[in-house]
Amino acid sequence: MTGFVARVVLAIAFALIAAVGADARAITDSAGRKVEVPDRIDKVFAAGAPASILLYMVAPRKMTGWPDPPTAEERPFIAAPYRDLPALGRLTGRGGTANLEVVLRTKPDLILDFGSVRDTYVSLADNVQGQTRIPYILIDGRFEATPASIRLLGEILDVGETAEKQARFVEDTFAEIDAATKAVPMEKRPRVYLARGPDGLETGVTGSINTEIIERAGGRNVAEATGQRGLVRMSMEQVIVTDPEIILTWDRNFFDKVLQDPLWAGIKAVREKRVHLSPTAPFGWIDRPPSLNRVIGLRWLAGLFYPDKLAADLRETTRAFYRLFYHVDPSDAELDALIAWSRGLAPSALPRR
């Protein structure tokens, strides 16, 4: 028996012994799986970036680490006790980097994934749970399911009061935007393109988790789904034909050059200088990853699309969101630097903490 196999077997044995003496309860996750979880959960391993953000927002004290360490730009917007948690890698997502030895060494009471609950992720959850004997839950990451997902995690982790405040914040945001946009016919809604990557030609089709925020904010995604799903590559000709009125991006390289690029010059959004750079600290306001970080982006986008209907003070809305969800109180200078990105201005350097 190799040293690695022996360590894994021993860790599983310890987990089984601990489980025998622990009180457990059955929960049903968003995939409909019945999972036995400990009555008390102190340590949670986030399977990927969306799950780590959800966990940090709802129950930061139960985190075991981040998939990747926060960058210097992100750190001011993460509460001090959690900035230096270890980087543990990812079990899900592109280029998963965590392995089961890392998971076992962390000794979590629970593994959490947040996002798609398709069969692929159900199979992964079942396999990891079977090999480690650590309960693994899936929570629905669709935007429309956000309030229910927050409440479900709050119930599982016994932090219902915090979860309820956050769920109501999301519900109020949804209701405000719905009330402002419900009377706007589809043909009068702004045509929007999300430009990903340095050339701006990667995007998400309508209905994808990466771009559903556009439709939820009252826009029309010009990258229509025609037998495709998720992220796709567009040709320059396709973008020109769709002629979006608004272009969104979080890629600084693309943003810096698009207004001077002759290939993009004829597109309405470029002609009218309606290209907007999304804030990305501590996490993207539109995507990257598609987790609860999108809630503040939703409010920002709805204000861009309908400034005459949703003209709230973005600084105060951002401050309220960051206090409740990120557990920090940004200074005026930090807010100004952060929001400058969304207005297409060069931000000053964020103060470091």
The three-point CA angle 111-115-118 to 5° equals: 95
* Whether pLDDT at 239 is above 80: yes
User: What pLDDT, on the 0 to 100 scale, is given for residue 2?
Assistant: 53
Flag whether pLDDT at 299 surpasses 70.
yes
pLDDT score, position 346: 46
Q: Which of 79-88, 206-215, 217-226, 339-348 has the lowest mean pLDDT?
A: 339-348
pLDDT tens per residue, range 261-277: 999 999 999 999 999 99
Across the range 129-149, mean pLDDT stands at 96
CATH 3.40.50.1980 location in the chain: 3-164, 183-342
**Would you state the pLDDT for residue 21?**
43
User: Where is 331: in which H helix or E strand?
Assistant: none
The residue written with tokens 């309860």 in the block is 25
> Would you state the pLDDT for residue 22?
53
pLDDT at site 313: 87
- Please answer whether residues 233 and 204 qualify as being in contact, where contact means their C-beta atoms are separated by less than 8 angstroms: no
Q: Which of 122, 97, 116, 112 is nearest to 53 (CA)?
A: 112
Percent of the chain with pLDDT over 90: 81
Token look-up 């968003």 returns 30
Q: Is the pLDDT of residue 161 over 80?
A: yes
Name which of 7-11, 176-180, 314-318 the model is least confident about.
7-11
- CB of 314 closer than 8 Å to CB of 339: yes
Instruction: Give residue 271's pLDDT.
Output: 97
Q: Do the bridges between strand 246-249 and strand 191-195 make them parallel or antiparallel, or are there none, so unpaired?
A: parallel
pLDDT, residue 318, reads 96
Distant-in-sequence contacts of 91-95, Cβ < 8 A, 24+ apart: 91/47, 91/48, 91/124, 91/128, 92/47, 92/48, 92/51, 92/121, 92/124, 93/48, 93/49, 93/67, 93/289
Confidence check: pLDDT of 17 > 90: no
Q: How confident is the model at residue 1 (pLDDT cuts 50, 70, 90)?
A: very low
Average pLDDT for 18-44: 87
Query: What CATH code is assigned to 183-342?
Result: 3.40.50.1980
Size (the chain), residues:
353
Report the CATH fold assignment for 3-164: Rossmann fold (3.40.50)
Does residue 256 surpass a pLDDT of 50?
yes
pLDDT of residue 228: 85
**pLDDT given at position 20:** 43
pLDDT in tens, 174-210: 999 999 999 999 999 999 999 999 999 999 999 888 8
pLDDT score, position 227: 80
pLDDT of residue 351: 55
> Strand, helix or coil at 309?
coil
Check pLDDT > 50 for residue 235.
Answer: yes
Contacts of 123 (CB under 8 A, 6+ apart): none
